[in-house]
Amino acid sequence: MFEPPYTRTRAANERLRAHECDACGWVSFPEQPQFCKRCGVDASWSETRLQPRGTVRSYVVQQRLPEEFETPLPLAVMDMPQEESGEPARVYGLFTETDPADIEIGMEAEGVFRRVFDVAGLPIHSFKFTRPRGDRL
């Protein structure tokens, strides 16, 4: 944060700041684009926020990863809804504290604020996904 790329992306990482294409409604996250990836228009964009939750569209369970990861690691393609109305953003979601047996396509996962990795010793924070805490009572 601290290094330019992470300073640029901090609002997206920590506040789930996203951008909606005024021409076609597509939601870009985390990038703040100029040309729309979906409709190609050099569009104007409306700033929006995503909710810290998502629906699992597909997933895998990583068994082998570099040491900094906790495995087995469920990893999903998620749709994250906006705070206001509109389309969701389709993103990769890293899971934490979730048994692979508890993941399924279509499930709603809770976004939790976690340390993702360190850069030059400083933590980079963003959201990971987990089976809702309330479900574990």
Partner 1 sequence: MAGILGYGAYIPLYRIERSRIAEQYGDYAGDGETAVPGHDEDTTTMAVEAATDALTQASTDGDQIDAVFAATTSDPFVERGVAAHVAHAVGAGRDTRVGDFQGSARAGTNALLAARDALSTDADTVLVVGSDALSAPAGSAAERTAGAGAGALVFGEGDAVAALTDSGVATTGFVGRFATHEDVTDGDGRFNRERYLDAVEIAVGHLGDDSFTHAVFPAHDGGWGRKASDALGLDATLVSTFPEVGYTAAAGVFLDTAAALDTAKAGESVLLAGYGPGGCDALRIERRTAETPEMTTDEYIQSSEQLPYGKHRQFRTRGGN
Partner 2 sequence: MSSETDVAVVGAGMIDFGELFEQSIDDMLAAAFRDCLDDVDKGMSPADVDAAWFGTIDIADNASSGLGLSHPTGLFEMPVTRVENACATGSSAFRSAVESVRAGNTDVALVAGAEKMRDSAAGLIEGAALDQVWRGRGVTMPAFFGLRATRHMEEYGTTREQIAKISVKNHENGAKYPHAHYRFTCDVDDVVDSPQVTYPLNLYDCCPVTDGAAATLVVSEDVVDEFTDDPIWVAGSGLSVDSFERGNDESLVGFPATEQAAGQAYEQAGITADDIDVAEVHDCFTITELVTYEDLGFCEKGDGGAFIDSGEPLLDGETPVNPSGGLLAKGHPIGATGVAQVNEIYEQLRGKAGAVQADNDPEYGLQHNIGIGRNATGSVSCVNILSRQR
Give burial (CB, 10 Å; 0-12/13-18/19+) of 35.
exposed
How far is 21 from 43, CA to CA, in rounded Å?
A: 6
- Residue 81 sits in the site that holds partner 2 (CB under 8 A): no
We find the least distance from the C-beta atom of residue 125 to partner 2, in angstroms, to be 9
Of 25-33, 41-49, 129-137, which segment contacts partner 2 by CB under 8 A? 25-33
Of 41-49, 66-74, 129-137, which segment contacts partner 2 by CB under 8 A? 66-74
Q: 81 by DSSP, 3-state: which?
A: coil
Instruction: Rule CB under 8 A: choose which of 86, 87, 96, 102 binds partner 2.
Output: 87
How far is 47 from 113, CA to CA, in rounded Å?
A: 21
- Residue 12 sits in the site that holds partner 2 (CB under 8 A): yes
Q: Comparing C-alpha atoms, which of 8, 18, 89 is closest to residue 55?
A: 89
Name the site residues for partner 1 (rule: CB under 8 A).
10, 14-15, 70, 96-97, 112-116, 122-123, 125, 128, 133-134, 136-137
